[in-house]
């Protein structure tokens, strides 16, 4: 009884696939068809090409492999020992590739929504509401996994594999797909106890001269943001009593009666209504910070990223489209 031929090491198949000069899968298709018919003419008929094309492709494949696959005669061909060993590996690879491409062609909308979408945005009072609204829309897609990165720093989209980001202040880079969702606004606020102690400021210069101030740090640069009051007025508080890198900490210092500060009105709204804060110099014009949603522009973007991008446009745009403030979480 003849010994069973040994399988060709998978490395032989891998080496073939690494060669850039030929269509490897197509060459394997020619080989497997020829191994089935054992006639190049019938192989050509099955593949709707000329016999000369079959002969050329098989010869190129043998040249790449460095081994003969067939023994030719005038009437038919036979597999060599190497061809016998190579055949099952080639058939398996073709079958796997066909299953792969068939699965890709027949994906359902649910299949297209399966996987991770990485989202980065700053700390915002509305984050809880954004998450709730997002998961309400995710309900029919249980295999969709939002990867939520709350960070005031500008994350590298490549290194962190970010799919979608929210930026307040500077417009994202020109190679991003960008949607302008609205604006935020900031207020000068202080605790009533501080105003009672120091008296209401007559104007901005008076406030800066007599009131202790707070200052937020831009964590991307390490420098203070300053106070952008309007399009034409920006001041840099001198010797701020309190320095931090987030609006919540600055708000806590204001509520403690220690400082006055420029803070987003969505952080302050409830405290203003309850009388725990007082707005200073409300007659001053306020700068409006633009809110941008963005995603990297790629040659192919998965459908789930496009869908979530549209969802967040609707959700966040509804919150900020009317000019509601989110706080000073600029990412410029």
Q: Is the pTM of this model over 0.75?
A: no
> What CATH number does residue 271 fall under?
3.40.190.290
Per the structure, the complete domain to which residue 243 belongs is given by 108-332
Q: Are 81 and 91 in contact (CB under 8 A)?
A: no
SS3 259: coil
Predicted local distance difference test score (pLDDT) of residue 105: 59
Same domain, 40 and 128: no
Predicted local distance difference test score (pLDDT) of residue 137: 94
Same domain, 79 and 149: no
Same domain, 116 and 185: yes
Listing DSSP states for 46-107 in one string gives HHTS-HHHHHHHHHHHHHHHTS--EEE-SS-EEE-HHHHHHHHHHHHHHHHHHHHHHHHHT-
Please indicate, yes or no, if residue 4 is contained in any of the structural domains.
no
Please indicate, yes or no, if residue 1 is contained in any of the structural domains.
no
Same domain, 113 and 130: yes
Same domain, 199 and 309: yes
Q: Are 89 and 8 in contact (CB under 8 A)?
A: yes
Please indicate, yes or no, if residue 54 is contained in any of the structural domains.
yes
Predicted local distance difference test score (pLDDT) of residue 212: 96
Give how many domains the chain has, as a whole number: 2
Same domain, 21 and 49: yes
Same domain, 67 and 135: no
Same domain, 165 and 30: no
Please indicate, yes or no, if residue 5 is contained in any of the structural domains.
no
**Residue after which a domain boundary falls, among 56, 71, 105:** 105
Distance CA 203, CA 283 (A): 10
Handedness of CA 319, 321, 325, 326 (dihedral sign): positive
> What CATH number does residue 25 fall under?
1.10.10.10
Predicted local distance difference test score (pLDDT) of residue 15: 54
**Residue after which a domain boundary falls, among 105, 139, 166:** 105
SS3 116: strand
**Residue after which a domain boundary falls, among 79, 105, 131:** 105
Q: Are 57 and 26 in contact (CB under 8 A)?
A: yes
Same domain, 95 and 118: no
Walk along the chain (332 residues) in steps of 10 and give the mean pLDDT of each run.
Answer: 47 51 83 91 88 92 92 84 92 83 63 88 89 94 91 58 86 84 90 96 94 88 82 84 91 96 88 96 86 86 92 92 42 35
Same domain, 178 and 38: no
Please indicate, yes or no, if residue 85 is contained in any of the structural domains.
yes
Predicted local distance difference test score (pLDDT) of residue 294: 93
- 194-203 pLDDT, tens digit each: 999 999 999 9
Predicted local distance difference test score (pLDDT) of residue 327: 39
Q: How far is CA 203 from CA 22, 207, 208, 283, in A?
A: 76, 6, 9, 10
Distance CA 264, CA 184 (A): 7
Predicted local distance difference test score (pLDDT) of residue 48: 87
Distance CA 329, CA 124 (A): 8
Predicted local distance difference test score (pLDDT) of residue 329: 37
Please indicate, yes or no, if residue 2 is contained in any of the structural domains.
no
Distance CA 72, CA 78 (A): 7
Same domain, 305 and 173: yes
Same domain, 195 and 320: yes
Please indicate, yes or no, if residue 3 is contained in any of the structural domains.
no
């Amino acid at each position: 009884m003849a010994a069973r031929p040994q399988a060709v090491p998978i490395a032989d198949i891998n080496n073939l696939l690494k060669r850039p000069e030929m269509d490897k899968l197509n060459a394997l298709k020619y080989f497997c068809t020829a191994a089935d018919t054992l006639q190049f003419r019938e192989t050509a008929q099955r593949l709707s090409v000329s016999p000369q094309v079959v002969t050329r492709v098989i010869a190129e494949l043998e040249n790449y492999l460095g081994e003969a696959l067939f023994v030719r005669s005038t009437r038919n061909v036979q597999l060599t020992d190497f061809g016998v060993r190579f055949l099952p590996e080639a058939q398996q690879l073709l079958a796997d590739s066909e299953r792969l491409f068939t699965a890709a062609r027949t994906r359902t909308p649910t299949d297209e929504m399966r996987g991770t979408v990485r989202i980065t945005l700053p700390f915002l009072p509305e984050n809880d509401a954004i998450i709730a609204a997002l998961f309400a829309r995710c309900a029919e897609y249980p295999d969709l996994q939002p990867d939520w990165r709350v960070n005031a720093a500008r994350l590298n989209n490549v290194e962190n594999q970010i799919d979608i980001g929210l930026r307040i202040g500077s417009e994202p880079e020109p190679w991003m797909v960008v949607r302008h969702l609205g604006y935020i606004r900031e207020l000068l606020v202080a605790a009533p106890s501080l105003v009672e102690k120091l008296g209401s400021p007559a104007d901005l210069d008076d406030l800066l001269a007599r009131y202790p101030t707070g200052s937020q740090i831009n964590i991307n640069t390490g420098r203070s943001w300053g106070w952008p009051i309007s399009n034409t007025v920006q001041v840099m508080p001198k010797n701020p009593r309190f320095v931090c890198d987030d609006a919540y900490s600055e708000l806590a210092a204001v509520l403690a009666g220690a400082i006055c500060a420029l803070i987003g009105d969505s952080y302050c709204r409830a405290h203003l209504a309850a009388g725990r804060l007082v707005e200073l110099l409300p007659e001053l014009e306020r700068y409006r910070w633009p809110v941008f949603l963005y995603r990297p522009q790629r040659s192919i973007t998965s459908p789930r990223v496009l869908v979530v991008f549209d969802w967040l446009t609707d959700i966040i745009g509804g919150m900020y489209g009317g000019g509601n403030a989110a706080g000073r979480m600029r990412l410029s």
